[in-house]
């Protein structure tokens, strides 16, 4: 009984909405919405669009192309007399590099590259949060030890630091047996 009453009420509401529509919808805009552009030719419209605006805009200055120093290297590092390292340019890719996941300060995840274990020429990169980072953290937690990863990702720059957006992260096994 209640179900039937609800069905009748819904039907009446839909019928009222349908009867409120006075004209059928059109697929073309009305002639009123075309405005003054309707009377202009295509060339005139293009000329009007290409005219400079009356409001001056402030252009952004280009970023200098000189090599920038990593803020975490040199005097900003923990090791005394550490060499200063150049940043990698934004848009470059790190491809299949061996690295370890660290959380040194502020809880931010960083990649410490293994190829750089002694020379300290590649500064660590802050990892931008994404699903790959979550998978790396979960794998490290499950293993309950430090893991090596083979990583691929795109490098970005911001205020003297390199950041990486990971695209691939694979756990590298500790021992490779030869048969």
CATH number at residue 147: 2.40.50
69 inside domain: no
In a domain, 106, yes or no: yes
The answer to whether residue 43 sits within a structural domain is: no
Can you read off the two tokens belonging to residue 83?
Answer: 């060499």
Tell me whether residue 85 is in a domain: yes
Q: How many separate domains does the chain show?
A: 1
Strand partners for 154: 93, 165
Sign of CA dihedral 77, 154, 107, 141: negative
Looking at residue 171, its pLDDT comes to 93
Task: Look at residue 52 and tell me whether its pLDDT is greater than 90.
Answer: no
Q: Is residue 66 part of a domain?
A: no
d(CA 86, CA 108): 21
Residues 6+ apart with CB under 8 A from 109: 101, 102, 103, 126, 127, 129, 133, 136, 137
Q: Is residue 26 part of a domain?
A: no
Mean pLDDT on 11-15? 74
Segments forming the whole domain that contains residue 159: 74-172
pTM here?
A: 0.54
């Amino acid at each position: 009984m209640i179900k039937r009453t609800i069905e009748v009420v819904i039907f009446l509401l839909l019928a009222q909405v349908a009867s409120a529509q006075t004209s059928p919808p059109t697929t073309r805009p009305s002639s009123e919405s075309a405005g003054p552009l309707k009377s202009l030719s295509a060339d005139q419209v293009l000329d009007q669009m290409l005219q400079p605006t009356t409001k001056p805009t402030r252009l952004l200055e280009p970023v200098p192309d000189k090599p920038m120093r990593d803020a975490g290297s040199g005097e900003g590092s923990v090791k005394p007399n550490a060499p200063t390292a150049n940043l990698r340019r934004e848009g470059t890719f790190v491809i299949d590099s061996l690295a370890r996941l660290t959380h040194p300060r502020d809880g931010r995840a960083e990649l410490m590259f293994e190829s750089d274990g002694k020379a300290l020429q590649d500064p660590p990169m802050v990892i931008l949060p994404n699903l790959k980072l979550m998978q790396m953290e979960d794998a490290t937690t499950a293993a309950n030890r430090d893991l090596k990863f083979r990583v691929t990702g795109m490098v970005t720059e911001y205020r003297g630091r390199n950041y990486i957006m990971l695209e691939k992260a694979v756990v590298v096994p500790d021992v490779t047996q030869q048969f």
